[in-house]
Amino acid sequence: MDALTTLPVLLPLLGAAASIGVGRWRNAQRAIGIVTLTAVTVLSAVALVRVDRGGTTAVAIGDWGAPVGITLVADRLALLVLVASMIMLLAVLVFAIGQPGAETHHVGFHPVYLVLAAGVALALLTGDLFNLFVAFEMMLMSSYVLITLGGRRDQIRSGMTYVIISLIASSLFLVTLGLVYAATGTVNMADLSGAVADLPDGVRSGIAVLLVVVFGIKAAIFPLFFWLPDSYPTAPTPVTAIFAGLLTKVGVYALIRTQTVVFPESTRPGTLLLVVAGLTMVVGVLGAITQYDIKRLLSFHIVSQIGYMVMGLGLFTVAGVAGAVLYIVHQIVVKTTLFMVGGLVELRAGTGEIDRIGGLARLEPVLAVLWMLPALSLAGIPPFSGFVGKLALVDAGFDAGEHAVVAVSLVVSVMTLFSMMKIWSNVFWEVPEVQPSPQAEQSTPFGRGLMVGSTAAVVVVGLAIALWAGPLHDLTLRAAEELLDGSTYRTAVLGP
Residues that bind other proteins (CB under 8 A): 68, 130, 133-134, 137, 141, 144-145, 148, 151, 153, 156-161, 163-164, 167-168, 170-171, 174-175, 177-179, 181-182, 185, 187, 229-230, 296
Degrees to nearest 5, angle at CA 449 with 446 and 451 = 115
Nearer to other proteins, 54 or 151 (CB): 151
Residue 353, SS3? Answer: strand
Supply the minimum distance, in Å, between the C-beta of residue 458 and other proteins. 28
Supply the minimum distance, in Å, between the C-beta of residue 164 and other proteins. 6
Nearer to other proteins, 138 or 309 (CB): 138
User: Do residues 144 and 162 make contact, with C-beta atoms less than 8 angstroms apart?
Assistant: yes
Nearer to other proteins, 131 or 455 (CB): 131
Nearer to other proteins, 151 or 401 (CB): 151
Tell me which DSSP letter residue 358 carries. -
Supply the minimum distance, in Å, between the C-beta of residue 158 and other proteins. 7
Nearer to other proteins, 198 or 265 (CB): 198
Nearer to other proteins, 129 or 388 (CB): 129
Supply the minimum distance, in Å, between the C-beta of residue 169 and other proteins. 11
Which helix (H) or strand (E) covers residue 73, if one does? strand 71-74
User: Do residues 492 and 406 make contact, with C-beta atoms less than 8 angstroms apart?
Assistant: no
What is 257-288 written as a DSSP string? Answer: HIIIIIS-GGG--HHHHHHHHHHHHHHHHHHH
Nearer to other proteins, 268 or 301 (CB): 301
Supply the minimum distance, in Å, between the C-beta of residue 332 and other proteins. 26
- Count of all residues that appear for the chain in the document: 496
Rounded to an integer, what distance in angstroms lies between the CA atom of residue 34 and that of residue 268? 41
Nearer to other proteins, 26 or 356 (CB): 356
**Residue 72, beta-bridge partner list:** 59, 126
Supply the minimum distance, in Å, between the C-beta of residue 231 and other proteins. 9
Supply the minimum distance, in Å, between the C-beta of residue 175 and other proteins. 5
For 416-447, b/e burial (b = at least 16 CB within 10 A) is bbebbebbbebbbeeeeebeeeeebeebeeeb
Supply the minimum distance, in Å, between the C-beta of residue 69 and other proteins. 10
Tell me which DSSP letter residue 69 carries. S
Supply the minimum distance, in Å, between the C-beta of residue 300 and other proteins. 11
Supply the minimum distance, in Å, between the C-beta of residue 226 and other proteins. 8
Spell out the residues 6+ positions from residue 117 whose beta carbon is closer than 8 angstroms to its own.
Answer: 12, 36, 37, 40, 86, 89
Burial class for 485, CB neighbours closer than 10 Å (0-12, 13-18, 19+): middle
Nearer to other proteins, 232 or 316 (CB): 232
Tell me the HSE value of 83 on the side-chain side, using a 13 A CA sphere. Answer: 23
Nearer to other proteins, 144 or 429 (CB): 144
Helices (H), 424-468: 438-442, 445-467
Inter-CA distances, 449 with 4, 411, 439, 441, 445, Å: 33, 38, 15, 14, 6
Positive or negative torsion for Cα 349, 350, 355, 356: negative
Nearer to other proteins, 148 or 317 (CB): 148
Supply the minimum distance, in Å, between the C-beta of residue 193 and other proteins. 18
Nearer to other proteins, 133 or 489 (CB): 133
Tell me the HSE value of 205 on the side-chain side, using a 13 A CA sphere. Answer: 7
Rg (CA), the chain: 21
Residue 76, SS3? Answer: helix
Rounded to an integer, what distance in angstroms lies between the CA atom of residue 428 and that of residue 361? 5
Supply the minimum distance, in Å, between the C-beta of residue 163 and other proteins. 6
